[in-house]
Structure 1
Amino acid sequence: MTSPFDDIRLYRARSALLKITPDEQGRFEFELACQYTRFGLNQLQVGDLIAVENYSVSEDEHNRTYSVLTLTQVLPIHFAAEGLGAYPGHVFESMRSIKEDWENQKDNPLQATTTISCKSVSTGWQFTFNDLLDELPSLEEERSLPMVGAEIRPLSRDMVDAIINYQMDNLPESHLIHKKFETINVKLDNRALLTTHFGIFGFTGVGKSNFVSSLVDSIIPSDHREADQLEIRDQLDRAANPVNIVIIDPNDEYLGLFIDKFVYEPDSLLYIHVGVDSLPQSIVANLGQGDEPTTDNVNLLHRQMHLPLNLRENYDIQDFIRFGVRNALTRTSLALPVKDLSTWLRNELRNQTPSNTGAAGREALLEIETAWTGSVENLPITPENLQIAIDLENEFSSPVRAPIQRIQPERNRPTVQGVVDRTVRALERYRDHLLNVPPNAILSFNEIIHELNSSDRSRIIIITGKQDFVLKQFCSILGNELYESRRIGATGTDIEPYTVLLLDEADLFIPSDVDDDVTKQIKETCITIARRGRKYNLGIGISTQRASMLDTQVMGNLHTYFVSKLPRRYDRDKIAEAFGIGEEELSPTFTFRPGHWLIISHDATGLKGVPIPTTAYNANERIIRAANEYNRDNGT
């Protein structure tokens, strides 16, 4: 008989709901207990779904209505261990007895002094079970409180699947499997995920970048994926818009994590370096020429690229990776950080200004900025125009020099002169680099926006750069230009690709405290997309280990959270507050290992607003499988 319950997990132990406690936000916490067995303790885990009969009434005597709860705490309790303030000799003697009680009750509760104490919160669902029917019951919104005194009934694998993936039958599988029931794929509504914004939070070493790679691969799958899943996705793609995911990658680590896609479908990717000095000169010199990448350049980028250790040290797959690097070089371009020289010059002056510059110095610098940028207003960034800006500073009666001579007292002049000198050197460096850049190597903002508004295919665009400052400038303009193009209907079609700006190391871009103009600009861009981007199919994704440092306006607009281990309480508090859940609901993450993730979503999951413990597919394993397939096909 098909049953929603898996009562055997508690092995004949009695259990009950003991207490209902309301919190300050109008939610309820439920305290439960069951008789201890060693097996039962291992079967009840934080994050598990259980059923408790509620106060609903039915005219059919065979009907029982159950509330669905999720466990937030599971602890073994021994009555004798509750008072440890006694004489130490007695305490240690008691401990020996207590240990025997734990060990002797393997699958049968024998001691009244031992219990399993649990806490839980509601999922908002209930179901009515009729013991005469051989089918899983249907879910409905909870309309009654669980009954104090009613027993705990763990839910079966099939019932958990029905709850977690409620109304998700027609969606393809995601990159997540249920942590307890490993045959359950936790499906995601990608449209909701992409347009209502998401965040990925975890401490160093939990695998955030690996998770991003697997998430993106599940949304834009490789062509050599299993046929049944590709068929489902093809059906959805024909009825839906293409997807563009723009990964802002300050640490330049995603080339390696998408190397399999560069092997099998390079035309769906772009690899963009912001700034003319972000790549080695030998690679830059060959960009945009239409020629095959040289072996030396392939080997150079292969040596320099960031690869996870188990990929770097797997010598059997290095030919596969080099082939991916070769294809990546054909899809590599440079981008200038801003659209015109006056903007570049203004940002560089402000970046070079020390924070302790006095009022007189700042007044002079503002006058210099106005004169210098005005002389190159609306000029594109070219070696010739950079030279015009340099020459202006060198003129004897230069409006750049004159304000410095008027600064009083004179001892403040070197600070301003230093700013100007450093800016001139930056202009000279940029001029020299640009002289060695092939014209076709540079992608303009208009060309990138055109790619993102094109509906012919889905795309992954990796954007990285040598300097965070430069990357912020670029992303601010790109985000604003993309938003404005969608707002005024520049796509010229009803089909607007779902496009997500995914910020890795998001605390660099959207910190709560901002102390420079460039960061303020990118932060304002992100806030605009988070608040208004949905109606234009634009979304924000963020990944960071420092949730507590992020701007609350962006955090409050994230509808889906992927959370791994966060040892700092203030990070957990920031997430719990932003999503509107109790901090105790993040407790499953305390024991998480790399690859374990708690997903909480208002829109993208079948079970909404309730944490679901999952395990993510390993991107490294995906790449190794693709490499082995490549080696078999090529006889290597």
Structure 2
Amino acid sequence: MGSEGLFDDMGGRFTARLRHHQTLTHTSPGGGRGESISVRSRLGVLEARFDLEVLDRLHEPCFVAIERVLGGIHTRGGGDAGKAYLVYEVTGVSPTHYQMLAMNTALPTVIRKEYLNTIYEGWGVSDETWVDVHCAPTGYMVVEDGGRPVFTRSSLVPLAGAPAHLLSREATRSFLCVEGGVPIGTILGFDIELTVDIHSLVKYHAGVFGFTGTGKSNLTSLIVRQSLDAWGGDGTVVVFDVAGEYAVNLADMLATGGILYSPEELGDVDSLLESQTLPETLESKISAEQLRAWAGGLVDDGRVRPLQLGDEGGGCITLGFLLDTLRGYKDDRKTGAVQAAVLIERIRVIASEGGLELDVPVESLPAEARGELSEAISQTLGGLNDRSSLYTDLSAVLSVLEGGGGRAQGVDGGSGANTPESVALQAVSKDAPPLIIVYTPEPRDARVASSRFISRLLYLKKHGYRRRVGVVLDEAQEFIPYDTRRDDLTLQSSLAVESLLRQGRKYRAHCVLATQRVAHLNTNALQQLHSYFVSTMPRYYDRLVVAEAFSLNYEVLERTTELDTGQWLFVSFKSTKQRNVPVFIQTPNNEDKVAEWFRMVSS
């Protein structure tokens, strides 16, 4: 490529040198977590010759390469021996006039006006003007080897006075884009498609963070589409949707091969349409008649199905209730205390091996676990006096188990009610639909459904089911909050999601989280994400949480406050060519695909 191809000096307009290098500390006294956060960031300041075209170009995302003479242990062959270039990302610019440094409000008004006139008339004319260019290290350096750029990790610090160059368009492509990868957006400032390894992006889990209106569900829907395309029929995505946004965002996929489950009554067209959110930007592109025809097709084709979550707290017998009852006999040393202790251990083994949550009603257990529990209770009954209270209680449980067979068939794909466990089995089956949406507008229902689904999914994965399954958790703060409690089921759902994030990639089970409240997320879960998209987050504390969790330079993250809808800061440890390099992108609009499909089926 040569140095002329490696750099872009804008026709000789861009000349700059490093003035100094510093470390900044950003601190917030507390936020959603009630604890302070302190983040340190390194920052270089370049002094560039003032030029209006250069100034305008530096307002766009760009990279600079700062020359660095290497010591003997760092010297590489090719190009200028002993010379490399440290790659920095521009985070901000400030045009400066020398007389600005001497001006302050203590000067008389007349003198200040003279200063200001001199300063304004001097831009682009006077040699006393320059541009301060603030830039953050990417952690990489580039050397030329055989005429091509070679990027390697580096923690070297540049030397004051070193020349700096703008990285060219082609060098940026070589720096960031994966050969043969899937395009996920256009790199802002370069008009280059950013290509990534989509398999790694999903395999190692991803997060989508942004304020209301930034397009989180739009981008997440796009990731769902690209993941399913990459899997080529060997995968299913299950979306847990609290806000009712994904049925419309994935309307074409839902109508042609997806299923929508919900504990809500959505058996008619009006109920279905009232439950779902139509983005304002789609209102002018899709007519009410088209929406009714789409919803009617879903209902008529049996793609909208009820989801049975059990009667929480309404008298049903769960594994947890059964264990608590048995512990009462054991702790009070009542008749049958020994048998109760033995049965407790049997139930724990059944729950552990089956990946079962304790809030699962016993009649909704998978057939295998239900059979094991029935056998354990029957054996315990054989050693009890039939007049004892424990005998009476266990007999009642056994009658529920034996009478719940029809209802529990759904767990194993039979004709009974659909449960989170049955949805998990459906998702890993060979004939699984590519898309399953679980619409649960009540957060408590969402936690029950997700924790039971994930527990059963991991159990099935550990027992040989190989089909890929992607899990999308929209409004992730409802599932994995920073503060968890057992009574509102946030503890159960948080533990289940943590297990998915820690173990999932070993078993071809993946996760995408979307939220606007990063400060309220479980830290353990947050740190399992290897790729993330960040848009505008107004709260300073939220931005610091992201910077701390992902070792991201805060000065780069601060630029997200300037992003428009559909623009994102994308960072990945696994899916991009280089590790953990922030890049600003404009993603495609998922709604264009939806609108085009509606036009096609209506013509």
* Gap change, CA 1:313 and 1:78, over 3 Å in 2: same
Structure 2 counterpart of 1:73, one-letter code: G
Which residue pairs with 2:96 in the alignment? 77
1:497 to 458, 463, 467: 467
Which residue pairs with 2:176 in the alignment? 164
* Gap change, CA 1:483 and 1:348, over 3 Å in 2: closer
After superposition, where does 1:494-533 map in structure 2 within 5 Å?
496-517=466-487, 518-533=489-504
2:265 to 279, 283, 286: 279
* C-alpha deviation, 1:484, in angstroms: 1.6
Query: What are the superposed Cα offsets for residues 453-481 of structure 1, whole Å, 9 maximum, x if unpaired?
Result: 12456722111124221221111111111
Query: What are the superposed Cα offsets for residues 217-254 of structure 1, whole Å, 9 maximum, x if unpaired?
Result: 22224xxxxxxxxxxx5xxx46xx82322211111111
Which residue pairs with 1:179 in the alignment? 188
Which residue pairs with 1:583 in the alignment? 554
**Is 1:124 aligned to 2:99, yes or no?**
no
User: Which region of structure 1 is more displaced relative to structure 2, 142-151 or 608-617?
Assistant: 142-151
2-structure distance, mates of 1:302, 1:621: 20
* C-alpha deviation, 1:339, in angstroms: 9.3
Which residue pairs with 1:204 in the alignment? 212
Structure 2 counterpart of 1:126, one-letter code: M
* Gap change, CA 1:460 and 1:379, over 3 Å in 2: closer
**Would the aligned equivalents of 1:49 and 1:71 in 2 still touch at CA under 8 Å?**
yes
* C-alpha deviation, 1:206, in angstroms: 0.9
Q: Secondary structure in 2 aligned to 1:626?
A: helix
Structure 2 counterpart of 1:464, one-letter code: Y
**Is 1:307 aligned to 2:292, yes or no?**
no
Q: Secondary structure in 1 aligned to 2:53?
A: helix
* C-alpha deviation, 1:617, in angstroms: 0.9
**Is 1:600 aligned to 2:571, yes or no?**
yes
* C-alpha deviation, 1:516, in angstroms: 4.0
**Would the aligned equivalents of 1:73 and 1:587 in 2 still touch at CA under 8 Å?**
no
**Is 1:270 aligned to 2:259, yes or no?**
yes
**Is 1:448 aligned to 2:423, yes or no?**
yes
Which residue pairs with 2:362 in the alignment? 378
Which residue pairs with 2:54 in the alignment? 40
Q: Percent same amino acid among aligned pairs?
A: 23
1-structure distance, mates of 2:19, 2:259: 58
Which residue pairs with 1:334 in the alignment? 306
* Gap change, CA 1:95 and 1:320, over 3 Å in 2: same
Which residue pairs with 2:32 in the alignment? none
1-structure distance, mates of 2:549, 2:273: 41
* Gap change, CA 1:196 and 1:59, over 3 Å in 2: closer
1-structure distance, mates of 2:308, 2:596: 37
1-structure distance, mates of 2:100, 2:305: 66
**Is 1:140 aligned to 2:152, yes or no?**
yes
**Is 1:542 aligned to 2:548, yes or no?**
no
* Gap change, CA 1:564 and 1:499, over 3 Å in 2: same
Q: Secondary structure in 1 aligned to 2:362?
A: coil
**Would the aligned equivalents of 2:41 and 2:555 in 1 still touch at CA under 8 Å?**
no
* C-alpha deviation, 1:261, in angstroms: 2.1
Q: Secondary structure in 1 aligned to 2:437?
A: strand
Q: Secondary structure in 1 aligned to 2:504?
A: helix
Structure 2 counterpart of 1:162, one-letter code: S
Structure 2 counterpart of 1:119, one-letter code: H
Structure 1 vs Structure 2 CA RMSD:
3.3
* Gap change, CA 1:298 and 1:555, over 3 Å in 2: same
Which residue pairs with 2:454 in the alignment? 479
**Would the aligned equivalents of 1:46 and 1:72 in 2 still touch at CA under 8 Å?**
no
Structure 2 counterpart of 1:112, one-letter code: D
* C-alpha deviation, 1:140, in angstroms: 3.3
Q: Secondary structure in 1 aligned to 2:90?
A: strand
**Would the aligned equivalents of 1:507 and 1:544 in 2 still touch at CA under 8 Å?**
yes
Which residue pairs with 2:122 in the alignment? 101
* Gap change, CA 1:50 and 1:252, over 3 Å in 2: same
1-structure distance, mates of 2:313, 2:504: 29
* Gap change, CA 1:306 and 1:28, over 3 Å in 2: closer
2-structure distance, mates of 1:157, 1:380: 58
Q: Secondary structure in 2 aligned to 1:262?
A: helix
Structure 2 counterpart of 1:127, one-letter code: V
1-structure distance, mates of 2:92, 2:361: 62
TM-score relative to the length of structure 2: 0.74
* C-alpha deviation, 1:129, in angstroms: 3.3
* C-alpha deviation, 1:189, in angstroms: 1.9
* Gap change, CA 1:178 and 1:153, over 3 Å in 2: same
* C-alpha deviation, 1:54, in angstroms: 1.5
* C-alpha deviation, 1:615, in angstroms: 0.7
* Gap change, CA 1:85 and 1:534, over 3 Å in 2: same
**Would the aligned equivalents of 1:52 and 1:150 in 2 still touch at CA under 8 Å?**
yes
**Would the aligned equivalents of 1:10 and 1:39 in 2 still touch at CA under 8 Å?**
no
TM-score relative to the length of structure 1: 0.71
After superposition, where does 1:11-26 map in structure 2 within 5 Å?
11-21=12-22
2-structure distance, mates of 1:144, 1:192: 29
* C-alpha deviation, 1:347, in angstroms: 11
* C-alpha deviation, 1:190, in angstroms: 2.3
2-structure distance, mates of 1:21, 1:521: 45
Which residue pairs with 2:253 in the alignment? 261
* C-alpha deviation, 1:300, in angstroms: 5.5
1-structure distance, mates of 2:559, 2:176: 17
* Gap change, CA 1:27 and 1:457, over 3 Å in 2: same
1-structure distance, mates of 2:50, 2:551: 33
**Is 1:151 aligned to 2:163, yes or no?**
yes
How many pairs does the alignment contain? 496
**Would the aligned equivalents of 2:136 and 2:553 in 1 still touch at CA under 8 Å?**
no
Which residue pairs with 2:8 in the alignment? 7
**Is 1:552 aligned to 2:523, yes or no?**
yes
Which structure 2 residue ranges, 5 or more long, are not aligned? 26-38, 322-357, 366-388, 390-413
Which residue pairs with 1:87 in the alignment? 107
* C-alpha deviation, 1:512, in angstroms: 0.8
**Would the aligned equivalents of 1:341 and 1:379 in 2 still touch at CA under 8 Å?**
no
Q: Secondary structure in 1 aligned to 2:538?
A: coil
Q: Secondary structure in 1 aligned to 2:182?
A: coil
* C-alpha deviation, 1:117, in angstroms: 1.2
1-structure distance, mates of 2:531, 2:23: 26
2-structure distance, mates of 1:575, 1:61: 38
* Gap change, CA 1:151 and 1:343, over 3 Å in 2: farther
Structure 1 counterpart of 2:587, one-letter code: A
* C-alpha deviation, 1:198, in angstroms: 1.4
**Would the aligned equivalents of 2:14 and 2:165 in 1 still touch at CA under 8 Å?**
no
* Gap change, CA 1:327 and 1:627, over 3 Å in 2: same
* Gap change, CA 1:327 and 1:92, over 3 Å in 2: farther
* Gap change, CA 1:377 and 1:447, over 3 Å in 2: closer
* C-alpha deviation, 1:112, in angstroms: 3.0
